[in-house]
Structure 1
Amino acid sequence: MTEPAQHDRSAPAFPALQRRGFLAVGAAAGLGALALTGCGGSSSEGGSSGADGKPKRGGRLRAAFAGGGTAETLDPHLSNLFADAARAKALFDKLADCGADMSAQPRLAAKWEPDTKLDRWTVTLRKATFHDGKPVTADDVLFSYRRIADPDKTYRAKASLEPIDLKASRAVDQRTIEFRLKRPTAEFPNILAAFGAYIIPSGTEKFDRPIGSGPFRFVSFAAGRSCTVRRYDDYWEGAPHLDELEFIIANEESARINALLGGQIEYAHELNPATARAHEDRGQIDIVRLRNSAMQAFAMKTDRAPFDDKRVREAFFLIADRKELVDGALSGAGEIGNDLFGKGYEYYAKSLPQREQDLDRARHLLKQAGADDLRITLDTSDVAAGFTEAAGIFRDQAAKAGVKIKVKTGSKDTYWSDILDSGTLCCYRSGAMPIESHISQRLLTDSSTNATRWRRKDFDALYQQAQSTRDKQARTAVYERMQRQLHTEGGFLVWGFADWIVGTAKKVRGVARDAPANTLDWARFDTVWLG
């Protein structure tokens, strides 16, 4: 295969887009709260189709994202920003990814099969090749996972791969891997779909000219400015419709929307609700709303006063007017929550009644707990859209129940680490991920990002029971028991789920409209075409 041509890196393609500023994202809340994890759904066309309704081949699409300056990387195991993740998706593949309901969907893995004890899984690879023409093999998979698990590195998917005993896992043949696990893991496919768990060629050390197995191959990269990739004709799922795709960095939302309106780009990632409303019905551009993309919550520390008393936690559940929070903090771009993560996702306990505001009951519970004159600090920051607005709205709601809240605004640079162990009440956000992953990463006694300090041995035991249960119906029942417990006395006051908003030019087709951010169909440019 011939080497792709290099583009001039000395100057950005669109100077007007090169604004400064960073997209603040919290590791605990997943990529912009990306983990941001990914697991895909179906696509639907943006705008109107061509006369025959069929995709057209050719053309170049320019997509603008907020970026991270010189910190940007093409190493898919280090992806932390939306821009990094979108580039990684274009260049690389994972064994699985998440559907719109967060169920694992096969990608490089054609199938997976467990043994009877659920502690040994056999994964069969599909026939796929890297951009240099070499086949994707079991050795490449084991190399990639062992690199991610390096104890001296901080790769994004490291925690997700923890259940795998990589020393004992082996390549059965070129396209078959036997994964041995440290314990029964019924949701092992979620590990394969973990955010950042990309497969790279064995022995890869540098990413200045990365070789992946994704739908596009590398052309050029200038950190903080742009990245160009070109269609890979031998992609296992079929060649992309586009000839080329260029990722352009534009940190300010106003720069992205103005570039879209001015025809400098065809895809603008991360628009705010006010911008979406202003342009939704004007006919100049298309607005795509990715529903259920980010959980919006307040996290109560359950290991310290006053939230070590479950009556106080229940009172706070009842103080919240969720619709007012969605309308005010999210400008209506979302839907109300019910104090549980993952609305609409696989295993979500949708049978639980929707909690409503009940100030009388809240006051009664606070009095019972001896907290009827409660004063408390609510930590917030401008690290995520709507945080400071939500804090102010909830402060006023709490005052109606006799609770005096002092809003404290912290640094967006250290917010996620600051609120993990300190404070008692804080604004919180999380991107899409499987419910099982949310539980394992944030709600078990030994979870590394347990922001509510929820530590219950009986809850841990239920999780282990679910992971040891082969029958899905029986496993679903266990997850429902866990969610009932969280709904009654947990530490997350989940008041809403925010839309993620994307703008596209009218000629752009094939953009998925029913997939939350970070799922398979988010930023999936291999299925997009220009009409």
Structure 2
Amino acid sequence: MRRIAPTLLFASLLSPLLVQAATLNVCTEASPDGFDVVQYNSLTTTNASADVLMNRLVDFDAASGQLLPSLAQSWEVSEDGLSYSFVLREDVAFHTTDYFSPSRPLNADDVLFSFQRMLDPAHPWHKTAPSGYPHAQSMQLPSLIKSIDKTGEHSLRFSLNRPDATFLATLSMGFASIYSAEYAEQLMQAGTPENLNNQPIGSGPFVFKRFQKDAQVRYSAHPSYFAGKPGVDNLVFAITPDANVRLQKLRRGECHIALSPKPQDVQAISGDNNLQSAHTAAFMTAFVGINSQHPPLDQPAVRQAINLAFDKASYLKAVFENSAEAANGPYPANTWSYASELPGYAHDPQKARGLLKQAGLADGFSTTIWTRPTGSLLNPNPSLGAQLLQADLAKVGIQAEIRVIEWGELIRRAKAGEHDLLFMGWAGDNGDPDNFLTPQFACASLESGLNFARYCDLRLDKLIADGKSTSDQAQRSQLYKEAQQIIQQQALWLPLAHPTAYALMRKQVEGYQVSPFGRQDFSKVRLVP
């Protein structure tokens, strides 16, 4: 016993370190709205649900710009573009938890359930989403998909009412995640369908353990994950709204990764040998949505005046520390179909006052500016940004009251169209320009609430729809450039910035990459000594 005891003591001293090394702690900026991702549209919710718990038929690889197999190992598209046939993997295991034990691997029934629930008003699960299905609605899937037919135990066919060049890419979005039909049936029989939102089941790399709002989300590695067990045994999202606190936790080793750092934080760690950073140009746009349904914001001249009044250069320097590119429209300049020839709105307060006078508002008017309380990648300093806009608008006679609203309520009320001027951001999911245009400017997006400009124009709507109906990229580009011209002429947004996406990490983190789309993949992350 005297010879064994020191070994046991040594092992007992090491075990806390081993347990800690197997747990990846990530400091995030906000709580998810829930875990039934199809009900929501915030990136925070996608990160906490679709990205770690779920899989989709296909994945979009940002590095290659190509769609890759995921739950679907292969697919075929008919010559007329109206039929998409998928063959599913046969080795996909759903999560086993204390509230669900799957009796079978994933099959075509799970795909049918996941889509029919969103598309069919008569489906027993359709009404379990109180606010509907915002992404499915804004991407117009109910009118696009004619039918989904099971052609085998692990195969199925989507039939479309019209060709859509974006359809496959859309299937890589978080809301297109595949759920367990067996688990859904269990919940419906128990009369507890709401548990899909707070006790989720997926097939992804991590298994849900528990959630404490505004504190943390805990996950464990999925041991039977079809792509291989993750490199860490546990994953913890430490919900930390303040970027300064996220950095402090990172320095103390309480977090291994800190998301959405402030630009100055990236510089602050440059001399710290324990920390590192990673970054990429984000396929995102920060903007102020202008509610075109609220007078006098319903007048194009007034919206144009707001654009002209704002000193964007000073804003970028103060808020983004010059770590972002100035935005001139919906999506970044490196996007194919970007309309580089459009002039934008240079800072011109005198011209802004002239437009207000032309609109019968020589004495100005009162409005509100809505923003969130804590910073994010697309809004690093909400308070300062709102104050800068408020000050610039006051110089041309527009008196704007700043309203700071908690993130979850902000999203909910903005989708209902209650805002006047709204600090917001949008992240594309797959590099396709339509991923900005359809959700943010299509008429169908008024119903889903994602159209924060609250604008429906039949000509603009047709340009967006026609752009999706052809696979000819040159033709699509021309249509999208015409759409951008309308968006700019109507001044539906005050475009702000295309940020650089950063993440701060401890040195022992390996395998983490920053996504230009804001998506999170922790399945390949390892912690090394």
TM-score by length of 1: 0.76
The yes-or-no answer on 1:246 pairing with 2:235 is yes
Instruction: Select the residue among 248, 253, 266 that pairs with 1:263.
Output: 253
C-alpha distance in 2 between matches for 1:349 and 1:168: 36
- State the shift of 1:122 in Å: 2.4
**Structure 1 residues 251 and 348: alpha-carbon distance in aligned structure 2, compared to 1, 3 A threshold:** same
Structure 2 equivalent of residue 159 of structure 1: 137
C-alpha distance in 1 between matches for 2:208 and 2:305: 56
The one-letter amino acid paired with 1:416 is I
C-alpha distance in 1 between matches for 2:481 and 2:385: 29
**Structure 1 residues 60 and 390: alpha-carbon distance in aligned structure 2, compared to 1, 3 A threshold:** closer
C-alpha distance in 1 between matches for 2:367 and 2:81: 45
Instruction: Select the residue among 92, 100, 106 that pairs with 1:129.
Output: 92
- State the shift of 1:219 in Å: 7.6
Per-residue CA deviations over 1:130-182 (Å, capped at 9, x if unaligned) read 15795432222112222344430225654367525778310122333211234
Structure 2 equivalent of residue 475 of structure 1: 476
C-alpha distance in 2 between matches for 1:101 and 1:485: 32
Structure 1 equivalent of residue 165 of structure 2: 186
- State the shift of 1:338 in Å: 0.5
C-alpha distance in 2 between matches for 1:470 and 1:122: 18
The yes-or-no answer on 1:200 pairing with 2:198 is no
More off after superposition, 485-494 vs 355-364: 355-364
Structure 1 equivalent of residue 192 of structure 2: none
**Structure 1 residues 351 and 98: alpha-carbon distance in aligned structure 2, compared to 1, 3 A threshold:** farther
Instruction: Select the residue among 13, 26, 33 that pairs with 1:63.
Output: 26
- Aligned pairs (5 A) from 1:73-92: 73=35, 75=36, 77=38, 82=44, 85-86=47-48, 88-92=50-54
Contact 1:270 1:500 in 2 (8 A): yes
The yes-or-no answer on 1:141 pairing with 2:115 is no
The one-letter amino acid paired with 1:414 is E
**Structure 1 residues 347 and 136: alpha-carbon distance in aligned structure 2, compared to 1, 3 A threshold:** farther
C-alpha distance in 2 between matches for 1:318 and 1:493: 9
Contact 1:279 1:285 in 2 (8 A): yes
Other structure's SS at 1:311 match: helix
C-alpha distance in 2 between matches for 1:110 and 1:140: 15
**Structure 1 residues 425 and 180: alpha-carbon distance in aligned structure 2, compared to 1, 3 A threshold:** same
Structure 1: stretches of 5+ with no match in the other structure:
1-12, 15-57
The yes-or-no answer on 1:512 pairing with 2:513 is yes
Contact 2:148 2:156 in 1 (8 A): yes
The one-letter amino acid paired with 2:468 is Q
TM-score by length of 2: 0.76
Structure 1 equivalent of residue 423 of structure 2: 427
The one-letter amino acid paired with 1:524 is D
- State the shift of 1:128 in Å: 4.3
Other structure's SS at 1:497 match: strand
- State the shift of 1:349 in Å: 3.2
C-alpha distance in 2 between matches for 1:409 and 1:178: 48
- Aligned pairs (5 A) from 1:206-221: 212-216=202-206, 218=207, 220-221=209-210
Instruction: Select the residue among 353, 356, 361 that pairs with 1:371.
Output: 361
More off after superposition, 420-429 vs 183-192: 420-429
The yes-or-no answer on 1:93 pairing with 2:55 is yes
C-alpha distance in 2 between matches for 1:444 and 1:472: 20
Q: Which protein is richer in helix relative to its size?
A: 2
- State the shift of 1:455 in Å: 1.8
C-alpha distance in 1 between matches for 2:413 and 2:286: 18
Instruction: Select the residue among 403, 406, 414 that pairs with 1:409.
Output: 403
C-alpha distance in 1 between matches for 2:436 and 2:205: 29
The one-letter amino acid paired with 1:230 is A
- State the shift of 1:492 in Å: 0.8
Contact 1:63 1:245 in 2 (8 A): no
Contact 1:184 1:468 in 2 (8 A): yes
* RMSD of aligned residue pairs (Cα, Å): 3.6
Other structure's SS at 1:146 match: helix
- Aligned pairs (5 A) from 1:454-465: 454-465=455-466
Structure 1 equivalent of residue 393 of structure 2: 398
